[in-house]
Amino acid sequence: MSKEVLKEHYERKYSHESTGNLIEPITITKAPISRFEAVVKFFPQYFRDGDVLEIGAGNGNVAKALLSSNMKISSYTMGDISVARVKGIRRNLDDNRVKAIEIDAENISESWHGNYDAVIMIALIEHLVDPLGAMQKIRKIIKPGGFIYIDTPNIAKYTLRMKLLFGKFPSTASRNEGLTKHTGGPTTLYDEGHLHYFTYRSLSLMLTERCGFSRVIKLGYPAGKMYLGKHVHNRLATMWPELFSELAIIAYA
């Protein structure tokens, strides 16, 4: 699939966000049950101070939550491949530390090398045509001692293993073998444009053996149905993230 097709898809999908919209606050909790609750819990634990880049920044909800904290953020650059989303971010966030720009994660400029203390990528790496090449470039823009926070679906999570066991495709962004949106109606792109699927092991090895990152820290949190309650599921995700968690990691440069 070409990047042009993907870009057109995301421009259509997020065209309504160009005028800005209400940003729902992210709950700050010790027991996160979503990718957004997870990043506002984990990121402050590892970030000391400096310049942040968020690639695939969405509507700005993560940035708003982190900028409202007491972290020492010098600058926060937000980028998205969707021009509509970039326009929406500029309308949503009024903070002199924020800069919103159009970014292609697979075409990072060499002029950015060594510019950022931390990079955030939430629900993005699975959409990239060439995640290996992109992460090699992104590694170079992180300052020594800095890190990247990545969140992506865990293809080895127990719920997806069960689907495979019964001969079903373990789609991570849709239903009906990747053909139906969670909100109903047919998907425009197969599995909503998820092109690659990762486990903790596969992503960690790619980053350390092929992309130049020094070490990886596994983080764990559950998502989806909480049959045993969110606290039990959080404990399981912390103890055995490879099986019970969505995929969240910190990778150091």
pLDDT tens digits for range 123-139: 999 999 999 999 999 99
pLDDT tens digits for range 99-118: 999 999 999 989 999 999 99
What does the alpha-carbon distance between residue 33 and residue 220 come to, in Å, rounded to a whole number?
Answer: 10
Q: Is the CB of residue 202 less than 8 Å from the CB of residue 242?
A: no
pLDDT tens digits for range 150-159: 999 999 999 9
Q: What is the mean pLDDT of the chain?
A: 94
| DSSP designation for 137 | H
What does the alpha-carbon distance between residue 98 and residue 85 come to, in Å, rounded to a whole number?
Answer: 15
Please give the domain boundaries of the chain with CATH numbers for all domains: 3-252 (3.40.50.150)
Length of the chain in terms of residues written: 253
pTM of the entire structure?
Answer: 0.96
